[in-house]
Structure 1
Amino acid sequence: MPFPTDTTRPRGIALFDLDGTLLPWDCQVLFCHRVLRRAPWRRFYLLVFLPFTPFAKWLGAETMKRIFLCYLWRMESSELVSHARAFARELRFYPEVLAELERHRAKGDLLVLTSASPEFYVTEIGRRLGFDLTLGTPVEIPDRLPFFPDLKNHKGMAKVDRLRELMPDRFKDGHLRNSHGYTDSTADLPLLAICKTATLINPSEHLTAIGRKRGWNVTRPTRPWKSKWDRLRRLAALVAGIGRNPGGLES
C-alpha cells in the first residue's frame, strides 16, 4: 500500500538493515541455533547444506538460502511463529544504533526495517523495536514447511524495488526524499544510493573507503567476538546448534 505523503515537507524516512547493522550477527545463524538447541535431530540439515557450500558462488544467495532453511523441514507453521516471537524477544542490539533509531523516532520519521533475513522473524523483530514498516525475504509457509521453502531473496536492488512499489510518491529523480540509510554491507549500496544521507555500521575497509568519498557517517559499535578466530568458532557453534549461548545474546 502506498504511504500518504506531504509533497511540500515530506516526512523523513530512516531505513535500517538488520544483520550486522542493528546487531553483530546474521540472524539466520542465530535463529538456526535456537531451533537446533530445542530439536537436536534437525542437525541433519548440515549433511545437506555443507556439501553445497563450495558451489555457493554459482548457485547464488537465493538458492543457498533455500537450502539452508531445510533445517525447518516439516515444522508446523504455528511452531515457527512461536519460535519467531520468542527469538525477537531474546535478541540484543547495538546500543549506539538503537540510539539512532530513537533519534529518528523522536523526529517523527518513518522507521523502516529492511532485511534480507526471512520475513517470518524479521516481522517480529520490527514489531519489538517499533518500526512502522518491516520488510524481509518472503518465505512460503504452508502448514508444514517443505524441504526447500520457496522464497524471493530481499537483497541488493530487491530492497529498492520493493520500496518503489510501496511508496512511489516518495521518490524523486531516482532518490527517496528526505531519507537516511543504515547498513554494514556493500550489498546495500543500491539502497544507500537512493538515500540523501547514510551511516555505515562497522563497515569493511572497502565500504569505509566508499563512504569516505561520499561523505557518509561511520559508527563502530563493539562486537561480541575477541578476534577473527573467536568469531569463526562462535559461528561454527551457531550453525551446528552447539553451546548454550555462542552468539552472546544474554549478558
Structure 2
Amino acid sequence: MALAIFDLDDTLIDGDCASLWSQQMARLGWVDGESFLRRDAELMAAYAEGKLAMEDYMAFSLSPLVGRTEAEVAFVVAPFVEEVIEPLIHGDACACLARHRAAGDRLLVISASAHFLVSAIAERLGVEEVLAIDLEQAHGHYNGQTRGVLTYREGKVTRLRAWLQAEGESLGDAAFYSDSRNDLPLLSLVAKPHAVNPDPVLRAHAEQAGWPILHWR
C-alpha cells in the first residue's frame, strides 16, 4: 500500500475553495461583499505568483468567522459544498482517486485552505484523511486565529512529516498531485510527482524534471 496525496484547489476541483467560500460569505451577508471580494482577489493574485504570506490571507479570511461556532459554520458549509463545489469536481480527479483506491493505496488530501472547508470537500470525494490549516477556538467559538504549522509551501512538508511519524507511514512509493508552484517542496520530495493543470512555473519545472503533466477536466 502506497500513499496517494492530493492538493485540493485547482487540482481536484476547478477553482479555489477559499475564494469560493468568500463569495459564499458575501451571499450570506457575513461580509461587505464588494470590498471583501476585492481584497480576496488581490491576495489570491499574490498566491498565484508565489508571493502570498498565508498568515495574511488567513487573518483576512477568518475575520468573518470570529464569534461563530463550529456547528454554525458547518451548517452553511454543507450546502455550499453540495451546490457550489460539487459541480467543480474534476471527473478525471474522481477517476484517479478510484484507481488509487482500487490499488489499495491510502488517500490523503493536503491543502492550504481551512480545515473546515477541506474536510467537508474531501468527505464528498470519499477521502477521510486530511491535512489543512487548523483553526483556534475560544469558549466554543472561532477566534480568527490559526493553530500550528500552516499547510502552505514548506509547511506542507513539515505537517506531512509529522503525520507520517504519527501514523507509522513512509513516503516509500508515494504519489502527489498538484497544480501549483507553491507545492514544489512537496512534489520534489515524493517518488511520483504529478503536475495537474500546472501553473507556468510548475509546468516548466515538470517539463525539465520529466514529471507527468496531467490535464484534468
Match of 1:212 in 2: 207
Structure having the larger proportion of residues in strand? 2
Match of 2:31 in 1: 42
1:113-155 CA deviation, whole Å, 9 max, x = no partner? 0000000121112222122411110111333333x43344211
Q: 2:113 aligns with which of 114, 117, 121?
A: 117
CA distance in 1, matches of 2:30, 2:122: 30
Q: 1:32 aligns with which of 22, 28, 38?
A: 22
Counterpart mapping for 1:50-65 below 5 A = 50=39, 60-65=53-58
CA distance in 1, matches of 2:52, 2:189: 28
The answer to whether the Cα contact below 8 Å between 1:87 and 1:121 also exists between their aligned partners in 2 is no
State the secondary structure of the residue aligned to 2:141: coil
Counterpart mapping for 1:1-251 below 5 A = 11-38=1-28, 40=29, 42-43=31-32, 46=35, 50=39, 60-90=53-83, 91=85, 92=87, 93-142=89-138, 143-146=140-143, 148-151=144-147, 152-168=149-165, 169-171=168-170, 176-222=171-217
Normalization by structure 1: what TM-score? Answer: 0.72
Match of 1:239 in 2: none
Query: Highest Rg: 1 or 2?
Result: 1
1:139-180 CA deviation, whole Å, 9 max, x = no partner? 11333333x433442111111111211213444xxxx11111
The answer to whether the Cα contact below 8 Å between 1:36 and 1:43 also exists between their aligned partners in 2 is yes
Normalization by structure 2: what TM-score? Answer: 0.82
CA distance in 2, matches of 1:125, 1:44: 24
1:96 shift after superposition: 1.1
Distance 1:21 1:204, change over 3 A: same
CA distance in 2, matches of 1:163, 1:144: 27
1:40-76 CA deviation, whole Å, 9 max, x = no partner? 252279369849x58x799822123212221223323
The answer to whether the Cα contact below 8 Å between 2:30 and 2:64 also exists between their aligned partners in 1 is no
State the secondary structure of the residue aligned to 2:136: coil
- Structure 1 gaps, min length 5: 1-10, 223-251
CA distance in 1, matches of 2:193, 2:201: 16
Query: How many equivalent pairs are there?
Result: 204
Alignment identity in percent?
29
Distance 1:209 1:203, change over 3 A: same
